Amino acid sequence: MGDHDLSLPKYTSQSKSAAAQLMARLLPVTYVVVGLLCAWEGIKALWSINDNTLPHLSSIVSFFGSRSQGGRGPLLVYQMLVNALATFGVAFGGFVIGGMLGFLLALIFTQSKLLERGLMPYVVGSQTVPILAIAPMVVVGLGQMGSPDWLAKAFIAAYLTFFPVTIGMLRGLRAASSEALALMHSYAASPVQIFLKLRLPASLPYLFTALKVAATASVIGAIVAELPAGSSMGIGVVILNAAQYYNSRPEALYAAVLIAGCVGLVFYGIVAAAERLIVRERRIEA
């Protein structure tokens, strides 16, 4: 007895303050951002690229700070954030619908090899169809059937999100080792107990990896869904408008792309935070 002293890896995190930890996380990101900004202006200066092709960073920033309607309307950055929020709402709706659908499909596939063989080609095939072509059909079609505008768009986001969740969850539900299953067998555990106490928790790391992919994909899906005529809100609409005036005001499109990227990042961050909260006690595999 009394063998093996425990070297709990916890002590490293306890010795640093929360602020220092945050700094350690933010510093590399800051370096990269500063580096990118320098590269942007550097390339522009070195090859003397004109402002229509690559606007100054300052003009993108000042675009955010300018007001719409000839200076009398709200700040453009505010307007863009409102649109971003609309897109985020659609993306989140699609994420939830697609996530549940993906989970359900994975569950069905683990129960029936026959259904997996029969349906999997269509699941994969669905992702090879250009989403840009399907978006108007679904959005307009569902709209005519009386579905609320956001729901029709969320279906497009769901179309992109169910796939990674299906694949990830399928892998996750099969992640339990044969010995872990043999243990359950020896306890004479019921199928429901095996699912709840072994297969489901064992699948979580795979599920969250899939959800992180799905989070960013759902934002793309939402933006594509906003492109068909008739939409009035969303980053997709902002991008469409900015693209029309690209020749005279290129910074508008860059600003819209920047905001769209931020929506994806925020969504990813939320899922990553949820992951840390739920699977925190596990060893993070190097």
Partner 1 sequence: MMTATSPIIVLNQVNKTYYVGKNQINALHDVSLSIAPGEFISLIGPSGCGKSTLMRLIGDLEQPSSGTLLVKEKTPSKARQDRDYGIVFQAPVLYEWRSVRKNVELPLEIMGYSPAQRHERATEMLKLVGLGDFGDSYPWQLSGGMQQRVSIARALAFSPSILMMDEPFGALDEITRERMQAELLRIWSDADSKTTVIFVTHSIPEAVFLSDRVVVMSPRPGRIERIVDIDLPRPRDFTTRELPRFFELVTEVREGLREHS
- CA 59 to CA 258: how far, in whole Å? 13
Interaction between residue 117 and partner 1 (CB under 8 A): no
Interaction between residue 3 and partner 1 (CB under 8 A): yes
- Closer of 203 and 216 to partner 1 (Cβ): 203
Name which position in 184, 227, 238, 256 contacts partner 1 (CB under 8 A): 184
Interaction between residue 1 and partner 1 (CB under 8 A): yes
Q: What minimum distance in Å lies between the beta carbon of 171 and partner 1?
A: 17
Interaction between residue 276 and partner 1 (CB under 8 A): no
Interaction between residue 272 and partner 1 (CB under 8 A): no
Name which position in 124, 185, 244, 274 contacts partner 1 (CB under 8 A): 185
b/e map 11-28, b = 16+ CB within 10 Å: eeeeeeeeeeeeeeeeee
Residues that bind partner 1 (rule: CB under 8 A) add up to a total of 27
Helices 57-65 and 76-111 cross at an angle (nearest 10°) of 100
Interaction between residue 193 and partner 1 (CB under 8 A): yes
- Closer of 95 and 208 to partner 1 (Cβ): 208
Structure token digits, residue 31: 């370096």
Q: What minimum distance in Å lies between the beta carbon of 173 and partner 1?
A: 15
Interaction between residue 274 and partner 1 (CB under 8 A): no
Name which position in 57, 134, 175, 189 contacts partner 1 (CB under 8 A): 189
Q: State the DSSP string of the chain.
A: ---S----THHHHHHS-HHHHHHHHHHHHHHHHHHHHHHHHHHHHHTT--TTTS--HHHHHHHHHSBHHHHTS-BHHHHHHHHHHHHHHHHHHHHHHHHHHHHHHHHHHHH-HHHHHHHHHHHHHHTTS-HHHHHHHHHHHHHHTT--HHHHHHHHHHHHHHHHHHHHHHHHHT-S-HHHHHHHHHTT--HHHHIIIIIHHHHHHHHHHHHHHHHHHHHHHHHHHH-STT--SSHHHHHHHHHHTTTT-HHHHHHHHHHHHHHHHHHHHHHHHHHHHHSTTS----
- Closer of 153 and 199 to partner 1 (Cβ): 199
| Beta carbons within 8 Å of 141's beta carbon, 6+ residues apart | 152
Q: What minimum distance in Å lies between the beta carbon of 181 and partner 1?
A: 10
Q: What minimum distance in Å lies between the beta carbon of 12 and partner 1?
A: 14
Interaction between residue 180 and partner 1 (CB under 8 A): yes
- Closer of 29 and 179 to partner 1 (Cβ): 179
Q: What minimum distance in Å lies between the beta carbon of 5 and partner 1?
A: 9
Interaction between residue 188 and partner 1 (CB under 8 A): yes
Interaction between residue 279 and partner 1 (CB under 8 A): yes
- Closer of 81 and 180 to partner 1 (Cβ): 180
Interaction between residue 207 and partner 1 (CB under 8 A): no
- Nearest Cα to 159, choosing from 107, 112, 91? 91
Interaction between residue 6 and partner 1 (CB under 8 A): yes
The site for partner 1 (CB under 8 A) is made up of 1, 3-4, 6, 8-9, 177, 179-180, 182-189, 193, 197-198, 201-202, 204, 279, 281-283
